[in-house]
Amino acid sequence: MVEPYAAVDIIRTKRDRGALRPEQIDWVIDAYVRGVVAEEQMAALAMAILLNGMDEAEIVRWTDAMIRSGERMDFTTLERPTVDKHSTGGVGDKITLPLVPVVAACGAAVPQLSGRGLGHTGGTLDKLESIPGWRANLSNDEMFEVLRSCGGVICAAGPGLAPADKKLYALRDVTGTVEAIPLIASSIMSKKIAEGAGGLVLDVKTGSGAFMSDPVQAKRLAETMVRIGLDSGVNTRALITAMDVPLGLTVGNALEVRESVEVLAGGGPPDVIELTITLAREMLDLAGITGVDPATTLRDGSAMDVWKRMIRAQGGDPDAQLPVATHRHQVVAETRGTMTELDALKVGIAAWRLGAGRARKEDSVSEGAGIEIHAKPGDAVAAGMPLLTLHTDDEHRFTTAMQALEGAVVIGATGASVHRLPLILERIN
């Protein structure tokens, strides 16, 4: 077969700030899936896109090409309305774990196709795989059955669903191109549109620990994705939420699962509870479900019941002991006062270096690695008080993790003012 284009010519076009034609986009996505466009060539193109951007027509076409690289799912035979949520990623962002059973307990069906960690942000599948026996990879039939029987499913996208994204997602993680708005938007929306849910709520994060640290850029990304979703017939809205400080009190795979179970049991950190309930209400609204308070499901145990059914349906033991890292190191306060800052990015990088994330796409993660947080901005601290506990299976990792944490914690005078982003900054629909 004679190829109609050469990858290097397409790379040059975007390198030189040109716009790719629809047929060029169609070809490069298809050729990448077929192996004609090599990994290093797509990496170069991804970097050119990061640096020079894409216009709206290019983004829409790129997304459509990603969708057309595989199959589309159909959940119209389910008796429940389908609705999904996607987060752009953050530090300590375990919201999917309690959110899916909460929404399912309220009567919606939640087909949650999730991914693995990208850079300093954690991946939902990595977290769930810390549960003994749980498996992420399901056939379409298995996914449908879990969704039908439990009301929710969290799993990996099958090989037939947007396969172009599966390849590109892993490549972005290790080539410094995660932050590209066109690639974020097309990655998220290609999977979600192909997934076939009737409604979609986007959690677009901003702050130091988010890929879109600038609220203006976060809003641009949110608006781009909402337009893509609506143009594709999926009822879509977005919340822009804070990621200047880690969510909750844990960062790391098994640690975040443990905290999520606490939330499902009626406890857990207030910010995790608030964001879970806020997103649940948005999802239920899109699904047309009224007269149900999602907060009730955390109090009456119905969300926990759904969680246990979901975990068991995918081979996991919800009551099993979660992995614990071999080594621990505490970071303590040097002075008394009020914590004024806890930088999400630095905490995320430290957790990554402890083994909770990947340096290369083929790397495995340490299930027990991560960071416990003992104080948040606004809390009073005393000299010698533990602020963070670092967990790792390789004690040599403490050195680089501590380097990443330099300047992460700021202690001001007692009663010092704290400037944080509000948990919910804006709603876009």
Q: How many domains does the chain have?
A: 3
Reply yes or no on whether the pLDDT at 257 is more than 70: yes
* pLDDT-derived band at 361, boundaries 50, 70, 90: low
Q: What is the CATH number of the domain that holds 122?
A: 3.40.1030.10
Same domain, 217 and 93: yes
For the chain, percent of residues with pLDDT exceeding 70: 99
Mean pLDDT of 318-332: 98
- Ranking 57-66, 304-313, 356-365 by mean pLDDT, the lowest is 356-365
Q: At 191, which helix (H) or strand (E)?
A: helix 181-195
The pLDDT value given to residue 37: 97
| DSSP per residue, 49-91 | HHHH---HHHHHHHHHHHHHTS-----TTSSSPBEEEEE---T
Q: At 224, which helix (H) or strand (E)?
A: helix 215-231
Reply yes or no on whether the pLDDT at 305 is more than 80: yes
Domain boundary, last residue among 313, 335, 355: 313
Residue 77 in domain = no
Mean pLDDT of 339-363: 91
Reply yes or no on whether the pLDDT at 307 is more than 80: yes
Give whole-number Cα distances, 13 to 7, 42, 113, in Å.
Answer: 10, 13, 33
Tell me if 226 sits within 8 A of 428, measured CB to CB: yes
The pLDDT value given to residue 364: 86
Same domain, 198 and 280: yes
Which has more confidence, 116 or 349?
Answer: 349
Please give the positions annotated as active site.
86, 165, 172, 187, 191
Same domain, 42 and 114: no
Same domain, 240 and 194: yes
Residue pLDDT, tens place only, 394-404: 999 999 999 99
Same domain, 123 and 12: no
Residue pLDDT, tens place only, 152-211: 999 988 778 889 988 998 898 789 898 888 998 999 899 899 988 999 999 999 999 998
Same domain, 115 and 198: yes
Q: Which of 247, 251, 254 is nearest to 127 (CA)?
A: 254
For the chain, what is the mean pLDDT?
94
Same domain, 187 and 264: yes
Give the E-state strand segments of 136-213 in sequence order: 152-156, 199-206
Same domain, 192 and 335: no
Same domain, 337 and 266: no
What residues make up the domain containing 89? 83-313
Which has more confidence, 354 or 140?
Answer: 354
Query: Where does residue 148 rank: exposed (0-12), middle (13-18), buried (19+ CB within 10 A)?
Result: middle
DSSP-based three-state secondary structure for 101? helix
